[in-house]
Structures are given as C-alpha cells and as structure tokens.
Amino acid sequence: MSRPHIQPSRRLRSVWGITPIINICHNAKAERLLGIDSETLVFSEYFITKDFTRNFSRWCRWRWLKFLVPMLVFPWALSRYDIFHFYFDRGILPSWGWQGIRAVELAVLKFFRKKVFVYTFGADVRTKARTESLGPYHCCMHCPAVGKACVCQEKKSEKILGRVRRDATGYFSMGDMTEYTPGSENGLFFWPIDVRQVPYIGVSASAVSHRPVRIVHSPNHRHYKGTDYLLKAVDRLKLEGLPVELVMVERVSNEEALKMYAGADIVAEQFIIGWHGFTAIEAMALGKPVICYIRKSEYLLHPEECPIVSADPDHLEQVLRDLIADAGKRKRLGAEGRRYVERYFSLEAFAGRLRRLYEKHGILKCREAEETVCV
C-alpha cells in the first residue's frame, strides 16, 4: 500500500509544541523568516509566557478533557501542518509521565510523510546513572524528586529514543543533553532570541558608588541550579566587606524577568548542570556578564567566542570576587555577550541553520537569483 504524499500548492505550514516553554515561540518566529506559516500549539501553560498561537489550555482543565482534546486536535493538525516540531517528552496525543511521544503518533505522521523533528530541553532526556557519571557536579546531586523530575530510567530513555530514531525525520540536542542522545544532530542550537526586542543595556565601566554590585539569579528550581552554592558564596563575600547584593528572580513572567535582568551588574545562572540555559542568552543579549558552570567547552556554539565565565561550586566565590572588583571586565564581557548572541542566537542566525536543515531534507529548495533564496 503506497503512502499518501500531497505536494502542497500553498505555503508550508509548521507547528512547534507541545511543551509550553518560551523557546517554541522564538523558534516559530525564526521559521517564519523562511516563508513558512509557523505556529505554536500547547495544551497547558506555565507562568513564564502564554504567548502561543494555538493554546488549548482552557479546554484541558479536567483530567478527562486532557485526554479527549488532544485526540480531537491530532487529526486536525495532521490535515493542517506539513512539519511537526516536538520535544522528547510528548507529541500531540496525550502521554502522561515521562512516556515520550506516542509510538502510534510517530507512525501515523511518518505514514502521511510529515516531517517530524524532535528536540531536547533537559529533563526529557536526562537519566540518573548517566548524569552521575559526568563528574562531581551534576543536576542529580540535590534532586528531591527522583523518578519524577526527569525521565531518570535508562531503559525508559532508550525506549523513547528508539521510537524517535526509527520514525522521526531528525532529532537534535545541544550542550550536556548530547550526553543522553547518541546519534543526534548537535549543530542546530535551537534557542534563538529576537535581539530587536531585547535592548542592549550593558553595565557601567566604573565602580558603582550609589549601590552594591547587583548579582541577579533566576533559578525556578533551586536544587537543579546550585542556588545554595551561590547563596553561601555571596554571604561570605559580604562578610569580607565587598559591596554586593543578590536579587532572586522566581515565579515571574518572562517579561518581568527581563526587567530584573536589565538591572543586573552580573547574571549568575547555574553551577552544577554543566551547561547554560536560555537565561544566559537573554542576559547576554542585554549586555550583561554571565557566570555559569560549563563542563566542556565543546558543548558551546563557537566556544572561542562565548564570553560566559565558567564557575563550578569550587570556583564560584573567586570568580564572583574578581568580577565584583573589576567593573571594566564586566562591561567588556557584557559587550562581547551581545555580539555573540547577535551573531549566533538571533532569529536570523537560527533561521539560517534551519534553512540548511530543510534543504538537506528536501523541504526547501534553493534557486539562484540576485542572491540565494529559498522557496
């Protein structure tokens, strides 16, 4: 039996979901630069953002609707979209716990020749045994919810990855998440940001006289970010008499968080995971120096240009002490961070990487005109 394959006479349509994180909004916006009608689709939402194109969260307030609504949405999405972007935790069809994208969903999408790309966000691929093997500092160290916070079990992870490897068009990872996804494509770096909507603020090159040096930290989940190490380091620096204050950003919208980052002299991100998050990209876009533990330089996109100052718990206090004392260095790192994000994490930069991926899979074809364009 031959599989249906319809060449669309309209513009390509794409959907990003289903995990309601802010990154999918930026991804869809970047994809639109390629001339694709790109939307986001979610069945729930966090406090960070509600800015999704297709938001069914109000229809999924009761448990039985959480099952029924996705079942009804799936055939509609199947007829509407040509390209599907998911994270490893779930697709459109309901999947409770860490069960991954349903095998039947991947099989149906493959049968109808849809393009399916799957991405990591962290907890959806991290397993306990592999995490603990990475070194003395890792995100399992202080975990209060073993078996719940992440996929955790190696066998379960292998089963989910096996489905994706068999039926998805491609799957992608970056940073420490590459440790859990053998065979993944690791050059896409799928966390773009609209730098036109994040103004360059920078930091002063002179010592701040009217207030202490302000460190801003946005943990959301303190036990996974090494927050206690930061609290202790700042307390010790205060006892030394250094002019420093710590501002915590927790359970606020992304818009409010950006306002708080804007007032920072230093953004301290995370100190045990071994890889930076989206907060570091937002902070660098604002022109702020960023401290974050980077386990391996090869995790980074163009590591030779990345200005993130790496610090694990053993070195965090000294790194903070040096930056507090050196206003000129803070300003330089902030300016370098803005250039780094503009060059590699802007919507245009990500759209370029996505275009090359689509050319590889025959989704877009290039033609020669005054310049190379994709259709």
- Per domain, the residue ranges of the chain are 13-192+347-374, 195-344
| Distances in whole angstroms, Cα of residue 13 to Cα of each of 80, 85, 344 | 7, 11, 25
Q: Regarding the domain delimited by 13-192+347-374, which CATH topology (the fold level of the hierarchy) does it fall under? A: Rossmann fold (3.40.50)
pLDDT at site 366? 63
pLDDT at site 221? 86
Architecture of the domain spanning 195-344:
3-Layer(aba) Sandwich (3.40)
37-87 pLDDT tens trace: 999 999 998 877 778 999 999 988 888 898 999 999 999 999 999 999 999
| Distances in whole angstroms, Cα of residue 302 to Cα of each of 108, 133, 297, 336, 341 | 38, 26, 9, 13, 11
pLDDT at site 98? 85
Q: How large is the C-alpha radius of gyration of the chain?
A: 22
Stretches where the chain sits below pLDDT 50 are: 1-8, 367-375
Residue 236, SS3?
A: helix
Structure tokens at 192: 């773009």
218-277 pLDDT tens trace: 998 899 999 999 999 999 999 999 999 999 999 898 899 999 999 999 999 999 999 999
pLDDT at site 205? 75
Query: Do the first three CATH levels of 13-192+347-374 and 195-344 match, i.e. the same topology?
Result: yes
Q: How many residues does the chain have?
A: 375
pLDDT at site 372? 35
pLDDT at site 209? 61
